[in-house]
Chains A and B, each alone.
Chain A
Amino acid sequence: MKELNPLEKMQRVQAPLGFERRVLAELAVRKEKNVRRRRTWRFSLAGATAIVLVGFITLNVFVLKKQTPAVISGLDKRVSLPQARESMPSKMFQRQAPADTIPIIEPVDYSGEVRSTSQEPRTIYILEQVTEAANTKIIY
C-alpha cells in the first residue's frame, strides 16, 4: 500500500526568468577574477622570493664578515690559559702550559700515513715466551 504523502501537494517554486543568463554572466566575472588573482599570486610569490634572496645576499656580503678559524675559536684574543681553563671544560687542560699561547694552524695531510694493507704480503707474528722466570716481565 502506498503511503499518503501530503508533501507532494506542496507548492513547487521555479527558477526565475533569466536565471541562466545571470549565472553565466557571474561565471564570466568570476573567471576573470580568478585569472587576475592567479596572476597577482604569481607576482607576489616571485617578489617575495626575490626579496628573501636579496636579503640573504646582503646579510652575507655586508653584515656577516668572513671569520678565520682562529677568530671563531677565540684564540686570536690571546686568552691566557687560566682564563681559558675557567671558560672551557677542565679535562681539556690537564697539562701546565705557558701563559701565552701562539696558535699555529697548519694543514696536515694524513693520506701518506694511511697505507693499504691489502697489497702487502701477510705477516704472521708468533709470540713466544723467552724467559723461564715466573716473576720476571715477559719480553717479546
Chain B
Amino acid sequence: MSMDEQELVSRLQEGDETAFAQIMNTYKDRIVNYLFQFTGDYQKAVELSQETFLRVYFRADKYKPIAPFSSWIYAIASNLAKTEMKKVRKLAQVSLEDVANDLDAGTYSLDSTDSGLIKNLREALNSLHPRYRIPVVLKDMEGFSQEEIAQILKRPVGTVKARISRGRGYLKKKLEKALSENSFAKTSQEKAHERA
C-alpha cells in the first residue's frame, strides 16, 4: 500500500468523505468490472459496487493494515456478490449457471463487434461455477497474486491454486470445443457454397 493510500485510509477511518471519494475514484472501475465478471449483469454489478463502497465507508474502522487495502475492498465485493447470488438462487429456484448466463438481464449492452473468441470466452466464463470463476477473474483479469486471492477469498493458497488451474482448464476445454464447432460450421458452409 502506497503512502498516499495509507493516509487516505486513515483519513477515511476518521470519517473523511473527501478521502472516501478519492478511494472510490481509484477503485470504482475495477470493482464494477470485477462484479460484472462475477454476476454477468451490469446493472447488478453497479448496485453491488455502490453497496461495496458504502460498506467500505461504514466499516473502515474494521480494516487492519495487515493486508492490502485493495484485497479488503475486493473481499467485501466478493462477499456481497456471493450473498446476492445465493439470494437470487433461493428466490428463483434456478441453477447458478442459468442466472449467470442471463446476460440480457443487465442494461449494459455487449459490444456487437466482439470477435468470436471474446464471445466464446464470455460464454465460457459465465458458464464457469463461481467457485472457479472468481479466482480466475481475480488472477487473470485483475492481476492479483495467489496469496492476495487467498486473502480475499479467505481460503488456503493451495485451494486457490487448484481452483485457478481447474478454472483455466475448463475455459480451455470450452474454447477448444467452441472452436471446433465453429470450424465445422465454416467448412460445411463452404461445402454448401461449392455445391450451389
* Interface residues, chain A, with chain B CB atoms under 8 Å away: 5-16, 19-20, 22-24, 26-27, 30, 34
A9 partner residues in chain B, CB cutoff 8 A: 117-118, 121
Closest chain A CB from B60 CB (angstroms): 12
7 closest Cβ pairs, A-B complex: A7-B140, A15-B28, A15-B32, A14-B29, A13-B36, A12-B33, A23-B53
Indicate whether B122 reaches chain A with its CB closer than 8 angstroms. Answer: yes
A11 partner residues in chain B, CB cutoff 8 A: 110-111, 114, 118, 122
Indicate whether B46 reaches chain A with its CB closer than 8 angstroms. Answer: yes
**Interface SS, B side:** helix
Closest chain B CB from A9 CB (angstroms): 6
Interface-side segment among B17-25, B62-70, B83-91, B145-153: B17-25
7 A-B pairs besides A7-B125, A19-B28 with CB distance below 8 A are: A11-B110, A12-B33, A14-B32, A15-B49, A19-B50, A27-B54, A34-B58
CB within 8 Å for A19 and B54 given contacts A9-B121, A27-B17: no
B29 pairs with A10, CB closer than 8 A:
no
B33 pairs with A13, CB closer than 8 A:
yes
